[in-house]
């Protein structure tokens, strides 16, 4: 059947548009990055015009992306970009075909071989770009909640004996669980229903996966095991296998490939759920409801407005080229055309407002428990958890500022409950912005200054700090794509029924088999370019606690509270710098380890791996 085709940009109101300075920076940054990606992509297309599936011929060629310049082919050979970033093509035509320099070297490859190490794989679950995925193992054996009649046996193939062997018998699994020392990345139930759908597409594959870690005595995580699962189908039974570190040559290469699959799963989870769904998408109902229900002079509108800056425009840009049908996400991430469907399913099953607050999120995942005697009122399951350690400092600073602001305008419960504009705003967020969840019991009621302050703190946290934590390190951690491939394109060579020829090729050249599993030349370089853009601060960035967004009124109490907020954020910068130099904190300090700076409030422009803008602005 015929369907509509979108033409032109997605409309947003004029007061949501980028400033001329932001537009100019965004355009220059985007054109430059896309040109960098266009060079190897166009060269690849010259060899294979029908499919974007050529792997990199060697790791040496991957390294050259950061070391050498290459000639820009004629613009006529870049027409493939029209389907990816059409609005840039005219700017590309105006760009002289001179030698393009190179991608900037990502900060995370100061240790060039870190991506191969299990320790770095584990460390990035706590101090990387997706610190929202790791969770405590609370029961064993691990079990799926999916229907076993459809997907196969629910109980995991990861056994207690296998884990205890990897832990070198220092304790039993039962003891490790009781001591809160087993953790996991659980991408099993989320991805498993999509495995066969995704496998029906060309040049991609999918598994459900579970990855288990052990908390060692020095506070770091040891990677124990990876389980990959293909569900049953009408023609095949369920297949699953557990992979572990090994000194055997063949098993060692299989282990590297299993890690590549999990990294691709984590990349998809990060981009589609932790990043797009939980920040960009979730903030939109707040923006729309505030503009519809709150007058511009309303004190809560004035508080929130800086945290909505540019979000509608950047989301419109994303819908035009990034998450659109046939866009960059669908071309370059494992779920491909099922990406937005998967994100929507995750919203239905996982999203709830009350657990978007950082403390509640940590408790939900078992990464913390409430403890009134502990700092921030929480006891972390892993003491050296850089995202949580620094994030809670920011959360408390935001909370203190918002509480003081609310107290100035709402002295008691009646003043909150009786504010018709405020109540209309929150009703619209719940009933229109989240109509399918409007009757859920977990929605907070705005019936007291305390509930109002907590709700507003959560909104500010999501728009500013949550987004900063999962956005501005994307190039540092994913720019060197073997560390964080966006897609895994080939099945494990031992998957049954075993393809004998593929297995022989793997045994003969495992290095090539791994590169064929990684993103193609086109996919990798386009994603690298996009991550470079998304990780950049523009020259007109407005940061949390900055002077540009000082409250408009001259109320002494409000101004004093904001001064305290800004001063506290500057103190936090110093605390974070000190933590990054503390060698006892092995998850953020050590030889070749990238310091954790994503919760540092302020930054210069460009790709810096730090800085918390007020809003989800890129």
Residues with Cβ < 8 Å from 449, sequence gap 6 or more?
403, 406, 407, 410, 411, 412, 413, 415, 416
Query: What's phi and psi for 503, nearest 5 deg?
Result: -65, -40
Number of domains within the chain:
2
User: Which residues are marked as active site?
Assistant: 275, 280, 467, 471, 618
Q: Which pLDDT value is given to residue 241?
A: 98
**What per-residue confidence (pLDDT) applies to 101?**
43
Task: Provide the pLDDT for residue 102.
Answer: 61
Model confidence pLDDT, tens digit, residues 83-117 = 444 444 444 444 544 444 467 889 988 788 999 99
The answer as to whether 375 is a domain residue is yes
What is the Cα Rg of the chain in Å?
24
Strand 368-370 and strand 182-187: the pairing is unpaired
Q: What is the average pLDDT score of the chain? A: 90
Residue 48 has phi, psi (to 5 degrees) of -145, 85
The secondary element (H helix, E strand) that includes residue 615 is: none
Residue range 267-284: mean pLDDT, rounded: 98
Instruction: Report the share of the chain in percent with pLDDT over 70.
Output: 89
Q: Is cis: bond before 30, omega within 30 of 0?
A: no
Tell me, what's the pLDDT at 66?
84
189 domain-assigned:
no
Max CA separation in the chain (angstroms) = 76
What are the tokens at 437?
A: 């969840």
What tens digit of pLDDT does each residue of 164-203 get?
Answer: 999 999 999 999 999 999 999 999 999 999 999 999 999 9
pLDDT at 49: 42
The residue with greater pLDDT, 553 or 244, is 244
| Residues 310 and 18: beta-carbon distance below 8 Å | yes
In this predicted structure, the answer to whether residue 360 has a pLDDT above a threshold of 80 is yes
Cα distance between residue 105 and residue 112, in whole Å? 10
In a domain? residue 454:
yes
Per the domain annotation, does 613 fall within a domain?
no
List residues bridging with 225 in a β-sheet. Answer: 212
Q: How many CB atoms lie within 10 A of CB 323?
A: 20
C-alpha 483 chain-centroid distance: 14
Q: What is the pLDDT of residue 302?
A: 96
Task: Give me the pLDDT at residue 405, please.
Answer: 97
Across the range 225-240, mean pLDDT stands at: 94
**Residue 203 in domain:** no
* Short-list 127, 137, 312, CA closest to 227: 137
| Residues 6+ away with beta carbon under 8 Å from 319 | 10
Q: Is residue 515 part of a domain?
A: no
Looking at 44, 75, 103, the residue that finishes a domain is 103
| Position 573 in a domain | yes
In a domain, 418, yes or no: yes
Q: Which domain, by its residues, includes 37?
A: 14-54+67-103
Angle at CA 32, nearest 5°, toward 27 and 38?
120
Closest C-alpha among 575, 574, 218, 167 to residue 384: 218
pLDDT > 70? residue 586: yes
Question: What is the model's pTM?
Answer: 0.93
Q: 178-192, 447-461, 533-547: which has the minimum mean pLDDT?
A: 533-547
Provide the pLDDT for residue 551.
87
How much is the average pLDDT of 493-514?
A: 97
Helical pair 249-269 and 118-127, crossing angle rounded to 10 deg:
10
Pick the more confident residue, 429 or 22. Answer: 429
For residue 306, is pLDDT > 80?
Answer: yes
Helix (H), strand (E) at residue 208: strand 208-215
User: What's the rounded Cα separation, in Å, for the pair 150 and 148?
Assistant: 5
Residue 69 pLDDT > 60, yes or no? Answer: no
Q: What's the CATH number where 401 sits?
A: 1.20.245.10
């Amino acid at each position: 059947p015929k369907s509509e085709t979108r033409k032109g940009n997605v409309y947003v109101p004029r007061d949501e548009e980028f400033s001329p300075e932001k537009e100019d920076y965004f355009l220059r940054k985007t054109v430059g990055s896309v040109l960098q990606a266009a060079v190897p992509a166009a060269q690849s297309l010259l060899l294979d015009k029908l499919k974007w599936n050529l792997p990199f011929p060697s790791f040496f060629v991957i390294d050259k992306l950061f070391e050498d310049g290459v000639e820009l082919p004629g613009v006529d050979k870049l027409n493939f970009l029209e389907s990816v970033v059409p609005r840039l093509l005219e700017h590309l035509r105006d760009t002289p075909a001179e030698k393009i320099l190179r991608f900037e070297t990502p900060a995370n490859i100061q240790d060039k071989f870190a991506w191969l190490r299990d320790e770095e794989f584990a460390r990035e679950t706590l101090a990387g770009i997706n610190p929202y995925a790791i969770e405590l193992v609370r029961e064993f054996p691990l079990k799926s909640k999916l229907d076993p009649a459809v997907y196969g046996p629910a109980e995991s193939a990861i056994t207690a004996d296998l884990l205890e062997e990897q832990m070198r018998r220092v304790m039993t699994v039962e003891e490790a669980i009781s001591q809160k020392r087993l953790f996991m990345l659980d991408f099993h139930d989320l991805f498993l229903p999509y495995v066969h759908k995704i496998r029906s597409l060309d040049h991609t594959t999918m598994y459900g996966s579970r990855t288990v870690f052990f908390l060692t005595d020095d506070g770091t995580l040891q990677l124990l095991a990876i389980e990959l699962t293909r569900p049953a189908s009408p023609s095949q039974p369920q297949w699953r296998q557990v992979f572990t570190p090994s000194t055997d040559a063949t098993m060692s290469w299989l282990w590297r490939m299993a890690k590549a699959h999990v990294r691709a799963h984590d990349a998809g989870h990060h981009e589609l759920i932790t990043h797009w769904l939980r920040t960009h998408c979730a903030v939109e109902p707040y923006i729309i409801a505030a503009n519809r229900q709150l007058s511009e002079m309303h004190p809560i509108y004035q508080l929130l407005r800086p945290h909505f800056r540019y979000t509608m425009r950047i989301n419109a840009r994303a819908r035009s080229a990034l998450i659109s049908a046939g866009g960059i996400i669908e071309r370059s991430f494992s779920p491909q055309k099922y990406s937005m469907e998967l994100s929507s399913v995750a919203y239905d099953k996982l999203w709830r407002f009350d657990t978007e607050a950082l403390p509640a999120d940590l408790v939900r995942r078992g990464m913390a428990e409430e403890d009134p005697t502990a700092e921030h009122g929480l006891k972390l399951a892993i003491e050296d958890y850089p995202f949580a350690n620094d994030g809670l400092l920011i959360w408390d600073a935001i909370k203190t500022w918002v509480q003081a602001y609310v107290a100035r305008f709402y002295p008691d419960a009646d003043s909150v409950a009786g504010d018709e504009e405020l109540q209309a705003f929150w009703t619209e967020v719940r009933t229109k912005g989240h109509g399918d969840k409007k009757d859920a019991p977990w929605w907070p009621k705005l019936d007291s200054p305390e509930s109002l302050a907590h709700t507003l703190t959560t909104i500010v946290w999501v728009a500013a700090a949550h987004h900063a934590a999962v956005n501005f390190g994307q190039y540092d951690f994913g720019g060197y794509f073997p560390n964080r491939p966006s897609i895994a394109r080939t099945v494990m060579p031992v998957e049954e029924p075993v393809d004998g020829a593929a297995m022989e090729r793997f045994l003969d050249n495992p290095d090539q088999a791994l590169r064929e599993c990684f993103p193609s030349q086109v996919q990798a370089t386009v994603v690298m370019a996009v991550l470079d853009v998304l990780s950049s601060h523009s020259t007109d960035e407005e940061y949390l606690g900055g002077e540009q967004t000082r409250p408009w009124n001259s109320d002494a109490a409000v101004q004093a509270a904001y001064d305290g907020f800004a001063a506290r954020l500057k103190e936090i910068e110093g605390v974070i710098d000190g933590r990054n130099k503390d060698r006892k904190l092995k998850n953020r300090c050590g030889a070749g380890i990238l310091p954790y700076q994503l919760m540092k409030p302020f930054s210069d422009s460009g790709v810096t791996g730090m800085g918390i803008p007020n809003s989800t602005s890129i």
